[in-house]
Amino acid sequence: MSDAFVQFRGITKTFGGVKALTGVSLSIPRGECHGLMGENGAGKSTLGKVLAGIHKPDTGDVVIGGTPHVFGSPREAMDAGVAMVHQELAFCAELSIAENLCMGRYPRRLGGLLLDRPAMQHRAEQLLAAIGISLDVWQPMSALSTAQEQLVQIAAAVGSEPRILIFDEPTSSLSEPEAQALFTLIENLKTRGLTMIYVSHRMPELFRLCDQISVLRDGHYVGTLPKAEMTHDAVVRMMIGRSVAEYFPQHLSASPGDVVLRVRNLASPRKFTGINFEVRAGEIVGFAGLVGAGRSEVAKAIFGLDPRANGEVELAGKPLPLGSIKAAMQGGVGLVPEDRKRQGCVLGMPCRANIGMAMLDRLRRAGLLDYAREKTIATDYFERLRVKAASLDAPVNSLSGGNQQKVVLAKWLARGGRLLIVDEPTRGVDVGAKAAIHALIDDLARQGMAVILISSELPEVINLSTRILVMREGRLAGELSRKDASQDAVLRLMAGVAQAA
């Protein structure tokens, strides 16, 4: 391509004997927003990290504006004008927002002896304001939600004034309004001539933002579609070699059973208050709301993760003690958390051990772990969720983000129980695996399990749920039946424009 500004030439990268990329070559014109798609493990994030200097390719190079590069570090890539918004958030958790945003460029005074804190605050506030958000920049990163961390990372990347900006699943933890604000920002950046690479599994946003979409499959470059040829079927066929029909939940064919979960006056200081709802056997109750509305906090309280929670929770007619994870698990409650890296899995342990972790009490024989049964269960869910890893014994941190998510989900699906709470279950998961996860969640409900589904993807929560509860500012704003649950109706409740019927 004669007008190419970024060129990948024969990029090959191997990790522990597994080829993540094999001879990948593609070109991106200057000032274009170029989509990159593929199943989990296809090599999308790896290709972005090669450009960002995080991974050094085994063979091949990157050409930027006619100059070949083989970056040996992120600093070299940054010096060449490359910035990246990562799917997996990477900050110094105990440092403040301001310290993280100014890292490597700390303003100083008194001849460099002291940090210039007013200047740090001013720069951090400017960077956040540039993407339309306002936060206390002296609070530690550990105090932020996943969505807020993502926004801070976007502010850091945009604020470095790059020539090339890579977005890796940037909306995976954002609410719909926050995602729309990001889209507006990207469109503005494109008018300024910035070249962007946009990695996502969400086709509507790719179709809206991107001039072209390139597809990878199993580490190989498959092809590129111009905007005029972008359709759901065309992209999916390039990704996985077949079409994927929209999934219709089968649990709706039967009436819900007895009440499994009853929540009365559940509250937690400065998080949520006055929460009342029920979930019946065979139901999928969706929770929608803006980031910070309290959805995940309610889920954690039910699972025993909030020691300050108060109120009444009953499971199958019996009181469930608050603040006790052990009691929740023994009662048959499972939680797939929003943050897989910090709460969902042990990154350095094998996939097999992670999948069996939630059911160790059932895998023991005479006090010893039944490794054969653990392997059988792990193998089953590897196949059902199409997990891509070198082996069952590969550590979770060697997997792509989407495949890590599948391992976390497999852990709780394998355990079963009365109630499963799934918080952003398909975050960072490709279209094929998403359909499989939807089918598995639906199958659990069809078999009589009660399910709470928390998702920022409105089509997901609307399509799968029996009914939807909408939260706003720590309170339940209303409930929508399946027939009344349009995107407009949900968004109006989320924004406080409408009241519950």
Report the pLDDT value the prediction gives residue 339, as an integer from 0 to 100: 79
Report the pLDDT value the prediction gives residue 89, as an integer from 0 to 100: 65
Q: For residue 355, give both structure tokens.
A: 């999948």
Q: For residue 398, give both structure tokens.
A: 């060697």
- Distance, in Å, from the CA atom of 76 to the CA atom of 499, rounded to the nearest integer, reads 53
- Model-level pTM greater than 0.85? no
Report the pLDDT value the prediction gives residue 311, as an integer from 0 to 100: 96
In DSSP notation, 435-455 reads: HHHHHHHHHHHHTT-EEEEE-
Q: Tens digit of pLDDT for each residue in 277-323?
A: 999 999 999 999 987 889 999 999 999 999 999 999 999 999 999 99
Phi and psi dihedrals of 474, rounded to 5? 80, 10
Helix (H) or strand (E) holding 327: helix 325-331
List of residues 6+ apart from 111 with CB closer than 8 A: none
Q: Helix 176-191 crosses helix 146-159 at what angle (to 10 degrees)?
A: 10
Report the pLDDT value the prediction gives residue 195, as an integer from 0 to 100: 95
Sign of CA dihedral 197, 201, 207, 213: positive
Report the pLDDT value the prediction gives residue 500, as an integer from 0 to 100: 44
Mean pLDDT by 10 residues, the chain (501 residues): 81 85 94 89 89 94 94 92 81 87 82 84 90 88 83 86 90 80 87 92 90 92 93 82 66 93 96 96 94 91 96 96 94 89 86 89 83 90 85 88 84 88 84 80 93 91 95 94 90 73 45
Q: What is the SS3 assignment for 177-202? A: HHHHHHHHHHHHHHHCCCEEEEECCC
Q: For residue 172, give both structure tokens.
A: 């995976």
- Please tell me the number of Cα atoms within 13 Å of 85 on its side-chain side: 30
Q: Which residues of 15-32 are buried (b: 16+ CB within 10 A; e: fewer)?
A: eeeeebbbebebbbeebb
- Distance, in Å, from the CA atom of 284 to the CA atom of 286, rounded to the nearest integer, reads 6
Residue length, the chain? 501
- Per DSSP bridges, beta strands 450-454 and 284-289 are parallel
Report the pLDDT value the prediction gives residue 501, as an integer from 0 to 100: 45
